[in-house]
């Protein structure tokens, strides 16, 4: 499931405190954060963050993994929206959203200049994944940006996706692949071929016709690249309608 519209994702309410208490800075850890707009990568790299008060839509509330009874008995912790907030402060961009008091969490509607949008044909919106997945709790409820606790080294992805306005499932993000490119780092001699693999990060299925350095992947999600200039290069996998991949760092030697 794709963590997004809290009122849609949660099928029933959990008893939760509505007190807007201050959050102490414990539970900090470092995760790998990636923010993908529809046009470019806004952020990609490690970020250290932890539970904090978040303000969106004029509402300030703790973002600590405790909203809507999502992690009973667990300590306050770092969440996807905390990582987003830390990156925004580090890079100087802003974000906004709408608070849902029933579930004590936000629907993030804008990151930097990229904002939720829809017409009669398409819906475009922000959502988050952790390790390409979204956890569930209770009776098929889905954890959202201030409810899913993060472990050190988790891969956190905020992505802006597009779905058809009719028949599109904003919960499952059906039909959209979140591309994953491996290896993440390569050292190769000039003119020597090396093979990369592109999959859908959620399912692990091979992704055909993804483009890496202008080379298309085959039915097994593989492409062989040849680079003829020495230096350091970065590539991502792209396919129309899907979320671009993580970066691959390539060092080409003589």
Query: Residue 103 and residue 146: Cα distance in Å, rounded?
Result: 10
Q: Determine the pLDDT at residue 103.
A: 76
pLDDT tens track of the chain, all 254 residues?
Answer: 355 433 232 222 222 332 333 344 458 999 999 999 999 999 999 999 999 999 999 999 999 998 766 777 788 999 999 999 999 999 999 999 999 887 788 899 999 999 999 888 989 999 999 999 876 655 445 667 998 899 999 999 999 998 887 765 555 676 899 999 999 999 999 999 999 999 999 999 999 999 999 999 999 999 999 999 999 999 999 999 999 999 999 999 99
What CATH topology corresponds to 179-253?
A: Immunoglobulin-like (2.60.40)
Element (H, E) at 84: helix 80-91
Asked: is 6-164 a CATH 3.30.990.10 domain? The reply is no
Q: What is the dihedral sign for C-alpha 138, 144, 149, 152?
A: positive
Q: Tell me the whole-structure pTM to 2 decimals.
A: 0.86
Torsional class of 88: left (φ above 0), alpha (ψ -120 to 50), beta (otherwise): alpha
Identify which of 53, 207, 36 has the alpha carbon closest to the alpha carbon of residue 112. Answer: 36
> What is the domain partition of the chain in residue ranges?
6-164, 179-253
107 within 8 A of 127, measured Cβ to Cβ: no
Task: Look up tokens 């097994």; give the residue.
Answer: 220
Identify which of 180, 198, 184, 158 has the alpha carbon closest to the alpha carbon of residue 245. Answer: 180
């Amino acid at each position: 499931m794709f963590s997004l519209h809290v009122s849609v994702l949660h099928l029933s309410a959990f008893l939760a405190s509505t007190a807007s208490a201050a959050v102490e800075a414990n539970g900090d850890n470092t995760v790998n954060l990636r923010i993908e707009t529809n046009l470019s990568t806004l952020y990609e790299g490690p970020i250290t963050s932890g539970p904090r008060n978040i303000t969106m839509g004029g509402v300030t509330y703790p973002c600590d993994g405790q909203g809507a009874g999502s992690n009973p008995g667990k300590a306050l912790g770092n969440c996807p929206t905390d990582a987003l907030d830390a990156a925004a402060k580090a890079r100087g961009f802003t974000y906004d959203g709408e608070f849902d008091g029933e579930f004590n969490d936000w629907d993030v509607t804008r990151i930097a200049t990229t904002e939720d949008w829809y017409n009669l044909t398409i819906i475009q919106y922000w959502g988050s994944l952790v390790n390409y997945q979204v956890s569930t709790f209770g009776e098929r409820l889905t954890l959202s940006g201030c409810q899913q606790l993060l472990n050190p080294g988790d891969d956190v992805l905020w992505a802006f996706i597009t779905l058809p306005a009719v028949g599109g499932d904003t919960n499952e993000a059906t039909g959209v692949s979140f591309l994953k490119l491996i290896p993440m780092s390569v050292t190769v001699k000039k003119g020597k071929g090396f093979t990369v693999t592109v999959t859908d990060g959620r399912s692990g299925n091979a992704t055909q016709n993804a483009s890496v350095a202008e080379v298309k992947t085959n039915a097994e999600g593989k492409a062989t690249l040849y680079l003829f200039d020495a230096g350091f290069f970065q590539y991502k996998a792209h396919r129309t309608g899907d979320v671009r991949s993580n970066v691959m760092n390539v060092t080409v030697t003589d």
